[in-house]
Amino acid sequence: MALTLEQIAKQAGVSRSTVSRVVNDHCSVRTEVRERVLQVVRETGYQPHAAARSLVTRRSQIIGVVIPEAVTTLFIDPFFPLLLAGVTETCNAHRYHLMLSLFDRPAGQEEMYQHVLGSGYLDGVIVASFRLDEPLIPDLLEKGIPFVIVGHHPDKRVNYVDADNVGGARMAVEHLIRLGHRRIGIIAGPQNMPGSQDRLLGYHQALDAHRVPVEQALVAEGDFTESSGVTCTQQLLPAAPTAIFVANDAMAVGALRALRRAGLQVPQDVALIGYDDVPIAAAVEPALTTVRQPITRLGSMAAEVLIGILNSPNGAGGPPHKVILPTELVVRYSCGALRESPSRGQ
């Protein structure tokens, strides 16, 4: 069915090694012969059999993307799709294949990991996990499989690529401070996720830098769902915040709803800033001021770092890469910086 080196060799009247050399463009082959071989390759549409090649070279040109989180929940948020778009872009550019491993069931996860990592299919792995204690990490370290984490990780040896959550949160809160707010509440994310911790840290940093005292009654912890945004807002209201920084847009939408229900106007009575800049942020009324992360770049950067490591001479790729990409404040109408809502939707 599929052509083999041998058949191309016969057609071109050379040996199979010569064809191999041409295909992998080794220099040592007469241009005349090379042309003849290339001609046959083009005519026949020959492509080397990946498995056979990978068996001898020990490289598959496949990188794995492992997403251990409860997929169904997180996939309604465009984070993973955009991340994948970025990874894809880089993979395509470098002719790598991408193997996607999603795990929604914690049950049997350990076994699934083995299935994926032990198969020998993967040259390297990108891990998109939000848990510090992700069991995959020690596994990968032990097995010596090159990997890059999206998000950060305390272990000195790991490579990671992350968005500047601290800076993003600080930027948001400083924006509120600049607008004159002092009683600034926060609806933080789950504190077992490093990204959430960072955003809370950024909040503290901004307050400290401007000598605004931190008040515990102005700090609530949600779980990133819209409904937790509602309850956290209700929890914060007695402390009379004039502004709230919310650690993601979904919760910010909940906050918006809760504030409206409490008879408060946004941004007049309470200013609001979200995080992520998902589509819904622009769609609600008033449109949310929020912090945008370079999610797609995060993905392509992770792939770039990984492929860089894979292609490095010794395979180690030098000291661990720790990359932090900047975030961006998207000013809309929920923070009061822009006064009137112009016509929207083009």
Partner DNA sequence: TTGTAAGCGTTATCAT
Partner DNA sequence: ATGATAACGCTTACAA
Contact residues toward a second copy (CB under 8 A) are 1-2, 45, 47, 49-52, 54-55, 60, 62, 65, 71-72, 75-76, 78, 80-82, 84-85, 88-89, 92, 95, 97-105, 112, 114-116, 118-121, 144, 226-227, 230, 253-254, 257-258, 261, 279-280, 283-285, 296, 343-346
Burial class (CB in 10 A: 0-12, 13-18, 19+), 320: middle
d(CA 199, CA 80): 19
Asked whether 204 and 174 are in contact (CB, 8 A), the reply is: no
- What is the distance of C-alpha 169 from the center of its chain? 17
Select from 178, 191, 195, 192 the least CA-distant residue to 219: 191
76 sits near DNA (criterion: CB under 7 A): no
Min separation Cβ 30 and DNA, Å: 3
Instruction: Name the amino acid, one letter, at 4.
Output: T
Min separation Cβ 99 and DNA, Å: 19
Min separation Cβ 6 and DNA, Å: 6
Residue keyed to tokens 């939408």:
253
Residue keyed to tokens 């016969």:
10
149: β partners: 127, 160
Q: Which two tokens stand for residue 252?
A: 């910010």
Tell me phi and psi for residue 70, to 5 degrees. -65, 100
> Closer to DNA at the Cβ: 97 or 131?
97
30 sits near DNA (criterion: CB under 7 A): yes
144 sits near DNA (criterion: CB under 7 A): no
Min separation Cβ 206 and a second copy, Å: 28
Min separation Cβ 41 and a second copy, Å: 12
Residue 116 binding target from DNA, a second copy, none, CB below 5 to 8 Å by type: a second copy
Residue 62 binding target from DNA, a second copy, none, CB below 5 to 8 Å by type: a second copy
> Closer to a second copy at the Cβ: 210 or 344?
344
Q: Which two tokens stand for residue 315?
A: 């395979």
Among 52, 70, 71, 316, binds DNA (CB under 7 A): 52
DSSP state of 237: G
User: Which of the ranges 19-27, 77-85, 122-130, 308-316 carries the binding residues for DNA, by CB under 7 A?
Assistant: 19-27
> Closer to a second copy at the Cβ: 116 or 323?
116
From residue 272, how far is each of 20, 166, 172 by CA, in Å?
A: 62, 18, 10
DSSP per residue over 130-145, as a string?
Answer: --TT-THHHHHHHHT-
DSSP state of 218: G
Asked whether 202 and 229 are in contact (CB, 8 A), the reply is: no
Min separation Cβ 216 and a second copy, Å: 25
Residue 43 binding target from a second copy, DNA, none, CB below 5 to 8 Å by type: none
Min separation Cβ 33 and DNA, Å: 4
DSSP state of 222: -
Among 35, 43, 44, 49, binds DNA (CB under 7 A): 49
Footprint of DNA (CB under 7 A): 2-6, 13-18, 20-21, 23-24, 27-30, 32-34, 46, 48-49, 52-53, 55-57
